A and B are shown apart, each in its own frame.
Chain A
Amino acid sequence: MARFTPHTEEDVREMLDVIGVETLDDLFADVSPKFEGELGLPPALSEYEALRDVDRLAKENVSGLPIFLGAGAYDRIVPSTVGAVISRGEFLTSYTPYQPEISQGTLQSIFEFQSIISELTGLDVSNASVYDGANAVAEAALMTARLTKRDPKVAVSRGLNPRYREVIETYRVEVVELPFEDGTTNFSEVPDDASGVFVQSPNFFGVVEDIGAASEAAHGVGALCVAVCDPISLAVLEAPGNLGADVAVGEAQPLGMPLLFGGPYAGYMATDGKSVRQLPGRICGETVDKDGKLAYVLTLRGREQDIRRAKANSNICTNQALTALAATVYTALMGPEGLREVAELSVSKAHYLADRLRASGLELRYPDAPFLWEFVVELPDVKRANEALLDAGMVGGLDLGDGGMLVAVTEKRTKEELDAFVGVVADAG
């Protein structure tokens, strides 16, 4: 019998009688072609045995070491409260809040998530999340085409996370590459038929870009400016909405989501009030119930696939509600000061590390470019440095394949770890 099924043989017998068939097989009389063999899967394990396998495989990963990898996913502190809230069954085991009367918990938490994203980005409306940062970027690319009524064509530089760019391309949007010099993008020559201009800040190499210049360039050719921002950075950097960006998107993973080998994370998207009808995905709005009591409900549903079908803004249905809730709880715990402190700690530690590396004779690739917590250090042999780091019990930075190592430093790293990193890298170099 199936493991999580309550039925006894008598239950099954009684139910088959009511249905008017003899056997369970009869319930599949209409199925053709039938599969009549046994599934070639390993024999069923008890919970205890299955979890023992989980532990066994977990040991085959290198884990528990200080991590200097970033490049779109960051090893940040996740407060215990986040996990406690999102494992509440009422949140965990519910689905899309189509029945608002019994989904106010999810709906209000989405409303709070949207509010947080609006506050951070300086843009009026946010959606309830999309799959991840890369998909937020790709959806934004499509959105610029709808809003400008142009063919989807976006201008990006190497400063955009290459994985984001790849997803844009998978979505069949034309990509034009802007020049990238000394760590920042040159926006002076944007094609005049572009639908969007993308600026990631801090960019893939950790450098803070000029969102104002990007938006001026975009608006100059009638395109939209899309800013791609790490939400933690927005605690200290000017909100993209205040710098002329029309759309802001990004990866919400740094807000309380474990690394978990790449997901689930959550993508966020925000835009100004006039563009809201072109946002993909769900939007939660405030309203009242029959008694005039304030309540929340999914709104502007005419944009979505279940209503508009082939003409919908996007096919997205299930999004990342639970991880968006994690971001909401994380931000509540941190507050504006806590977020700023996370950012400042990371900046302090990253700059300490960069200074120490320089002092040991190594060079940063973009020595004059402003950065927060991620930077590129030039090494004679990145691969060897990473091997040496692993031997010393650390996970090194991203090997860029061109002599550069992209190093990320979060609030989790201690002085001791940073000093050890310098020691190993300087030696291996």
Chain B
Amino acid sequence: MLDNLIRTKGREGRRGYTLPKNDVGETDLRKVLPKEALRKEGPRLAEVDEPTVVRHYTNLSRRNWGIDTNFYPLGSCTMKHNPRANEVAANTPAFAGLHPLQPEAQAQGALKVMHELQGFLSEVSGLPAVSLQPLAGAQGELTSILMVKKFFEDNGDDGRTTVLVPSTAHGTNPATASMAGFAAKEIGLDEHGCVDVDELREMVDGTTAALMITNPNTCGVFERNIKEISDVLHEAGAFLYMDGANMNANLGRMRPAEAGVDVMHFNLHKTFSTPHGGGGPGCGAIACSETLAPFRPDPAVERDGDIYSFVRPAGSIGRVAGFHGNFGQMLRAWNYIKMHGPDLRDVTDMAVLNANYVRARLGGTYGVPYDELCKHEVVVQPPKGMKALDIAKGLIDHGYHPPTIYFPLVVKEAMLIEPTETESKETLDDFVGALLELAESNAEELEEAPAHAPTRRLDEARAARQLKARW
């Protein structure tokens, strides 16, 4: 079958970039390297000119939807507008050209950005200590749980073998618990979709290291018993970790520390508008209590007068990244927070307003399993007899990126809608209009959707059965 890969567009001998001339005389590789080490056959790579490269990737980009092109209410992912000022900040040459191993004295500007951002995240969470190093949300989770593990080890408590994870949790939570060497035990929900406190009381014992709670949870519902939950854990000597992927619902309205959270992660690529880039890079900074602070990854940034430096926390779990983390994302988030200041609360207010508006408008036609106040997102179900998948594909034909579907797992045919604060009432009205129209459509015809996208539905089984993952 004919593909459209970059490699098909070239011709032997074409070049897309001109390098500076060699000004020192050539070193013959054969003279300085053993023969066996030398490559016998070159890699089969594209040989293309610059105009072809630009056109190829520009055209590829046009087969993609982003926030810039379409409303993108992908639940749990906070697809808010990405201010371009952040990009300017991250592309500033004196940051972009900074080598991570330049001595601290040569990188005071960068360290100051990191130190200030640590302070901002500390203020937003109420937790005193921060590490910016984790490279995405899942790594922030792992960092947090490894810190908990190290705490128990250093205290000679080797009986803490389990981590509790609610059934609503994102897949990264149980995967993190396993990766950190704990048994992940699932905990059930009450009628609001929140952690069942009675079940929690029964489950928590001397083997419990932590509970991983997401607040608001992945149904978009605030875990109203969070304080009680943290008390139960603390009484048993266990920790409360909070998955902060949904912090867009909490800014200036709730601080995890006051709810008894001991450690949490942020997704800077969600809450603080750093772009998602087609699936990363992100930044999964963590914040924690004084008790857990000594276990943070190496290094953290500290300030002494006007001097900023890297320090290894006393009981550090070690490094989780090669260098200091995704600094470019830190710059973007720092810039975003500086452009908001205490008005971050308005971000949350508008995000929650938008989600509740969609909830109110869809109720009656779509099922709303937890039909009470939601926070920044709402989970709905298609009308009887219809599938979330078909509605999602139908939405594409209306020009909308579908919501997250089939997650959270506890809601059948779940459609998790997160509008974010950067969308207007008109956009939400049109989107709701499209969903209401789809609810009336013929279920069989809808199976044909999308008809107006770059491709139609794909044969996903074939991709796995006849794996072809390279040219």
Contact = CB atoms under 8 A, between A and B. Distances in A.
A423 interface: no
B460 interface: yes
B118 interface: no
B438 to A, nearest CB: 15
B26 interface: yes
A66 to B, nearest CB: 11
Q: Which of the listed residues A21, A297, A316, A318 has the most CB atoms from chain B within 10 Å of its own CB?
A: A318
B469 to A, nearest CB: 5
Interface size range on A against B: 35 or more
Given A19-B360, A348-B24, A352-B25, A310 B341 contact: no
A153 B462 CA distance: 36
B30 to A, nearest CB: 10
Contact of A304 (B25, B171, B354, B357): B171
Interface in B415-469: 421-425, 450, 453-460, 462-464, 467-469
A105 B69 CA distance: 13
Interface string B392-409: 110010000110100100
Contacts of B136: 131, 316-319
A287 B278 contact: no
Given A314-B175, A333-B16, A53 B338 contact: yes
Contacts of A287: 458-460, 462-463
A318 B60 contact: no
Given A39-B124, A134-B321, A62 B421 contact: no
Contacts, number: 695
Contacts of A261: 95, 98-100, 107, 110, 323-324, 327
A246 interface: no
A92 B275 contact: yes
Given A276-B467, A335-B48, A348-B24, A297 B60 contact: no
Contacts of A234: 39, 43
A289 B339 CA distance: 44
B413 interface: no
Interface stretch (A186-194, A218-226, A235-243, A358-366): A235-243
A61 B108 contact: yes
Contacts of A200: none
B15 A332 contact: no
Contact of A297 (B38, B276, B422, B463): B463
Given A6-B424, A315-B175, A329-B57, A94 B278 contact: yes
Interface in A66-105: 67, 69, 71-73, 75, 77, 79, 81, 83-105
A285 B64 contact: no
B323 A347 contact: no
Contact of B37 (A88, A94, A321, A370): A370
Contacts of A208: 33-34, 37
A156 to B, nearest CB: 15
A214 interface: no
Contact of A294 (B1, B323, B357): B1
Contacts of B80: 4
B311 interface: no
Nearest to A104: B63
Contacts of B74: 95
A378 interface: no
A351 B138 CA distance: 42
A358 to B, nearest CB: 14
Contacts of B253: 28, 31, 34-35
A289 B456 contact: yes
Contacts of B279: 95-97, 106, 128, 282, 318-319, 321
A102 B372 contact: no
Q: 6 smallest A-B Cβ distances: which pairs?
A: A262-B323, A89-B68, A322-B277, A105-B64, A262-B100, A60-B109
